[in-house]
Amino acid sequence: EVQLVESGGGLVQPGRSLRLSCVASGFTFDDYAMHWVRQAPGKGLEWVSGISWNSGDIAYADSVKGRFTISRDSAKSSLYLQINTLRTEDTAFYYCAKGSGRYYLDWFAPWGQGTLVTVSS
Amino acid sequence: SSELTQDPAVSVALGQTVRITCQGDSLRSYYVSWHQQKPGQAPVLVMYGKNNRPSGIPDRFSGSRSGNTVSLTITGAQAEDEADYYCNSRDSSGFSWVFGGGTKLTVL
């Protein structure tokens, strides 16, 4: 069974940085693209970033380009999201999701349970 | 604003059929996936590709397309189908992803 467990969220002041993690199990991590998707409280889903199986292709939503960095570590079966210069509008649940194939342009599922990032002074 | 447009809310009587739509120019070129989200839970994939259901999704869920509009149809809606539904596809550039704004389905 595929399991995705996110961590690293919490209450952070504006301007600070944070690194989110997602530990994957139940599948061969190296064979699949991975994604981050966020959801502000009470709002809809927003795709944030995707990374191909070998990190050769990476993409970001325009809203986060330049501040967010996605990465993966095959030895740890882990996906990461580095968030710099946090803004109040970054407050959201952050979900990781497994790609259906090697490239981030393939559809994605399932999703983890998410980790909440709250940006506030 | 999203490149994919969904009706904010739809209601259906128990056991009846409901169609949830997603409209966008990129849908002429790319497939859509549909994700169901119940309160306090992570989204769950219910439809992907041309008309494919993941394992465990009831066959009352089906998909269709007409031009730039894709639909998720629930035939014989059940109380447990009450949820938010999001369509998801590539954006107009083809190199990024976008979600529709979501449709809140109420089963009466």
Whether B1 shows a pLDDT value over 70: the answer reads no
Task: Kindly report the nearest CA distance between residue A110 and chain B, in angstroms.
Answer: 7
Whether B2 shows a pLDDT value over 80: the answer reads no
Q: Report the DSSP pairing between strands B33-37 and B44-47.
A: antiparallel
A35 touches chain B (CB under 8 A): yes
Percent of chain B with pLDDT over 70: 98
Residue B52 pLDDT grade (very low, low, confident, very high; cuts 50, 70, 90):
very high
Backbone phi, then psi, for B13, in 5-degree steps? -75, 145
Chain A contact set for B101 (CB, 8 A): 44
Task: Kindly report the nearest CA distance between residue A69 and chain B, in angstroms.
Answer: 15
Mean pLDDT per 10-residue interval, chain A, length 121 residues: 97 97 97 98 97 96 96 98 97 97 92 98 95
Whether B42 shows a pLDDT value over 70: the answer reads yes
* Range A23-26 contact pairs with CB under 8 angstroms and sequence separation of 24 or more: A23/A76, A23/A77, A23/A78, A24/A77, A24/A78, A24/A79, A24/A96, A24/A98, A25/A77, A26/A1, A26/A2
Buried b (16+ CB within 10 A) or exposed e, A45-80: bbbbbbbbbeeeeebbbeebeeebebebeeeebbbb
Residue A48: closest C-alpha in chain B: B97
Instruction: Tell me the average pLDDT of chain A.
Output: 97
